[in-house]
Amino acid sequence: MSDIEEIEVRGGQGQVLDPETYRDSIGTMEQSGKRRWVFPRKPKGKYTNYRNLVSYTLLIIYFTLPFIKINGNPLLMFNVIDREFFIFGQPFYPQDFFILTLGAIASLIFIIVFTIAFGRIFCGWICPQTIFMESIFRKIEYLIEGDRNKQMKLDRQEWNSEKIWKRSLKWSVYIVISLIITHFMFMYIVGYEQVFKIVSEGPFAHPTNFIVMILLTAAFYFVFAWFREQVCTLVCPYGRLQGVLIDKDTINVFYDFKRGENRSKWRKGEDRKAAGKGDCIDCHQCVVVCPTGIDIRDGQQLECINCTACIDACDEVMDKVGLPKGLIRYASENEIEKQTQFKFTGRMKGFAVFLLLLVGFLGYLLYSRGEMEAKFIKPAGSTFFVKEGKIINTYNYTFLNKTNEKKIVTIKVIAPAHGEITYSASSKIPVDRDKISKGTINISFPEDEMKLSKQNITIGVYDMKGKLIDSYQTYFEGPFKLQF
């Protein structure tokens, strides 16, 4: 098989399209709306190796994080059902929702700013859809059915024994992989112990969990076995957002049209420059490796996920024909048009600093939340009573320990400073880590100090070293007095 491959894709009825038709109708949909199946050639090269390294690292992280604990807490868990959230081992509660909201807003700003400066690199290098598709499912497909040409040949042939067993094997492996991914995803929601318990007890003991697991597995299978690149080209909102964020200074995968045009087939020994020809030899290798079925030479397109497969394919061809690499490369549109070398501009430096500040802000939000949350609420229907010249109010307290260690706390009235506290139990209140402690106290003030029927007071919660770890403002009731 020659290095310069024929452009061949499967249409809605399995027909073969000639190269010119393919170039006139780029994408995964025909003019009629039928699905055009894309058979990307297996990429190889420098960027592919880098992407594989990033993908395998992220996959290792995905499959190991659920088993890592810090101080007995999961490193990362989002249990929406039981409203338990752990980030880097720190527990978060519905009371901390504002922090998560601010974090989500900061993350959105991060994505927008990152896209303005560096384009859609996230899609090609970090996006879970790309990582699962290209680093797991596509590699399984290459292993079972072979590379591009063998896959197209298998697709065109009748359903004989070879096609049946290869397709059956591939689809069976896809189902198993989808099941594994779904189970690990559940570990991020309920923890690995609960997942193992559900699996060991069987579907009849947990029918709802079993049904949800099957539905999610079916969704994963559908996406990676059939829907594939259409997630990026038709569904993903980030792909649509990209069109309004990028400009001529955004770094993306670009074809250097000034160097490449006029494109023409390669002829050995020809002086292409003297003949008025560009460096592009029209070999279509950048097209056959594209997982979204586009021709990068047609300019920047929403379907491009910056996966760099076309860069490696083009560099390989340029190396074989003795032309400089970089005909397709990471660059900005201005860089291509002005034929300037890449440089880290002041604009990019500013965006990088802003991104670092956002990351710092997110870290500050996680670090700065209080150790404990305290509330003092008067019981419903309760009122004050007077005893021995003192006005007494009853309060129910609730302490939530947000740290990973047990706390022993005590309560003091901060303002007005003359308040006295009577405990229903010990004055030293234990609060276990990641737990809630409840109780009742009475607070009293001398009758002659209370001038209002309702007066604001501030109650503080202190640790055994005398450090104030939280305070709460409430009101104190007394007898109504006419002021003259």
Which residues does 306 contact at the CB level (< 8 Å), separation at least 6? 119, 120, 121, 123, 124, 125, 252, 253
Give the span between the Cα atoms of 263 and 277, in whole angstroms.
6
pTM over 0.75: yes
Q: What angle do CA 428, 433, 437 make, to 5 degrees?
A: 50
For the chain, counts of helices (H) and of strands (E): 17, 16
pLDDT tens-digit map of 171-214: 999 999 999 999 999 999 999 999 999 999 988 989 999 999 99
Q: What are 141's strand-pairing partners? A: none
Give the span between the Cα atoms of 411 and 471, in whole angstroms.
10
Identify the weakest region by mean pLDDT among 6-15, 179-188, 371-380, 465-474: 6-15
pLDDT tens-digit map of 146-162: 999 999 999 999 999 99
Confirm if 90 and 73 have CB atoms less than 8 A apart.
yes
CA distances for 412 relative to 3, 382, 401, 429, 443, angstroms: 81, 21, 18, 12, 10
Q: How would you list the strands of the sheet with 76-79, edge to edge? A: 76-79, 84-87, 90-92
Confirm if 174 and 227 have CB atoms less than 8 A apart.
no
3-state secondary structure of 260: helix
pLDDT tens-digit map of 256-310: 999 998 899 998 888 888 888 999 999 999 999 999 989 999 888 888 899 999 9
CA distances for 335 relative to 251, 256, 261, 386, 444, angstroms: 9, 9, 16, 82, 75
Give the span between the Cα atoms of 289 and 356, in whole angstroms.
35
CA distances for 83 relative to 78, 92, 96, 396, angstroms: 8, 9, 11, 23
For 240, the token pair is: 């649509």
pLDDT surpassing 90 at residue 444: yes
Give the span between the Cα atoms of 387 and 355, in whole angstroms.
61
pLDDT of residue 18: 41
**Other C-beta atoms within 10 Å of 125: how many?**
19
pLDDT tens-digit map of 360-417: 887 777 776 777 889 999 998 888 989 888 999 999 999 988 877 888 999 999 988 7
For 121, the token pair is: 């690199």
Give the span between the Cα atoms of 107 and 238, in whole angstroms.
13
Q: What are 409's strand-pairing partners? A: 429, 463
